[in-house]
Structure 1
Amino acid sequence: MSATALQEAEVSLTTRELEVLALVAAGLSAKEIAQRIAIAPRTVERHIDNARLKLHARNRTHLVTCAIVTGLLSTGLQAELLLAHRYTMLNDTIGQMSAGQLATSI
């Protein structure tokens, strides 16, 4: 499907499909998404597949591109989600460090 055809198509995704799509755009794996929103990884995969089919995307990268072209995702939102994900990963890493490790890494 061309970019023009995508922009003109009226694609509607469920709230959960949009949520999963935004997290995919932020670089999270299905397992990470599942943990974040408290659903099974297979359910995450199903939401990704449904969104991919609705947008006629060939793979996850194409799915995110199609979502940006159609206006379902904004690049600003994608950047915000990526920063939030990195912040979460940093907090998790710091939380796993002992006090001694933390003192020597600063």
Structure 2
Amino acid sequence: MQSERHGGVDVLHLAGEVDLEVSSQLRRTLLERVEGKRDLLIDLNGVSYIDSSGVASLIEAFQRARKDGLRFALARVPEGAMRVLKIAQLDRIFPILPDIDIGFGEA
């Protein structure tokens, strides 16, 4: 995980496998950002695999962000991760952006 500020938004770049081994760290990082009242954009471009624990971390942070009136979106979702989101019909729930340079309002 790497993070940066981009266009007034915290961007978290994920890479590799997002599975049970790393999902607890991902969950902590996401929730810390949301608790810090930061809008979040999750860049999944480098993700080669995501399992249900990784998806659950994203869902929990998304729900907390919405509750707190924060913006939360996924960006540059690779085909494998998109298949997982579509199977769970989460592609209808998460705002999904084609690039990190596109603002939240343009999703």
Q: Relative CO higher for 1 or 2, CA cutoff 8 Å, sep ≥ 6?
A: 1
TM-score with structure 1 length normalisation? Answer: 0.32
Of structures 1 and 2, the larger Rg is shown by 1
TM-score with structure 2 length normalisation? Answer: 0.31
